[in-house]
Amino acid sequence: MENIETIQKMVKGNLRKNVSLKEYNTWKVGGKAEYFFEPKNLDDLITFLKNVNKKNVTFLGNGSNVLIRDGGINGFVICLKSSLNNYKLKQNNEFIFEAGLSCMKIAQITARENFTGLEFLCGIPGSLGGALAMNAGCYGGNVWEYVTSVDLIDKKGNILKKTKEDFKIGYRKINLDKDLFFISATFSLKENLLKNSSSIIKEYLKDRRSKQPTGQPSCGSVFKNPENSHAASLIDSLGLKEYKIGGAQVSKKHANFIISNKTASSLDIENLIEYIQKKVYEKKKIYLETEVKFIGTN
């Protein structure tokens, strides 16, 4: 890319070429990023985007809800995990969280500050940016429930402010323009008079460890729950727990989780996902829609 050296001199963050993305997603699979950038802060991100706005840009957070294909990702991959991870507590019980913060960290911060509502976030393995983009949720809570406004950035480095009312929010989806990316969100929370948020988080984590393969490489839940049903129950009813394709296997602990071993390729996981969808449709006449997003090339 002709101006990579020029861009490198303009930014403070880490810009590298041909970086393996296996360590930047929770399945530990996938190819390389043509260029990989970790901005120092928001200003650094703005500078970067203003100078690469004609190129392909892909944002990554914790990499928990994506399947990065074996062919890798062309253009620039921007990882916010180590940069946009600050927060601010305002006097009116509002928190501003940056998009690179993990959902677990947000749950812990609000519990420590003695506010309630976001304890459920401890059960979501991703970062806030991805959670906002898919309206992530668990334990009866959804991330947009307490959001009042968000800041976004476009591929040209322009900042946009939007309110919750600007979005159509549905089950595991919102109407987000493909060229916009979340950089922060404001949450309005209530003080916890019972002072039991930490206890609630401990119970959620205990439940999660008992029911999910938390110590193994996965993306979290693979499929959305169909209306009036559960993806895990449908998959389990067909005897597909522990079913394998290559290095990818349906978890024996929770059928809506796919585990990857050290030999797994992204194609193994994708083939297993398609096999499950095919079998469930054949037997139950229900098409399982994925929560996980597929990025990159085969």
Residues tagged active-site: 172, 221, 291
**Residues in the chain, overall count:** 298
CA distance 180 to 184: 12
69's CB contacts (< 8 A; 6+ apart) are 30, 31, 266, 267, 270, 294, 295, 296, 297, 298
**Residues 156-165: contacts with CB within 8 Å, 24+ apart?**
156/49, 156/50, 156/53, 157/45, 157/46, 157/47, 157/48, 157/49, 157/50, 157/53, 159/46, 159/183
| Eight-class DSSP state of 83 | T
Residues 2 and 271: their CA atoms lie apart, in Å, by 37
Q: Which helix or strand (DSSP H or E) is residue 162 part of?
A: strand 159-163
- Burial code (b: 16+ CB inside 10 Å, e: under 16) for 201-223 equals beebeeebeeebbeeebbbbbbb
> What CA–CA distance (Å, rounded) separates 205 from 199?
10
Collapsing DSSP to helix, strand or coil, 170 comes out as strand
- Distance CA(230)–CA(46), nearest Å, equals 41
Measuring CA to CA, which residue among 109, 207, 100 is closest to residue 153?
100
Name residue, tokens 């729950």.
225
103-112 helix and 197-211 helix, angle to the nearest 10 degrees: 150
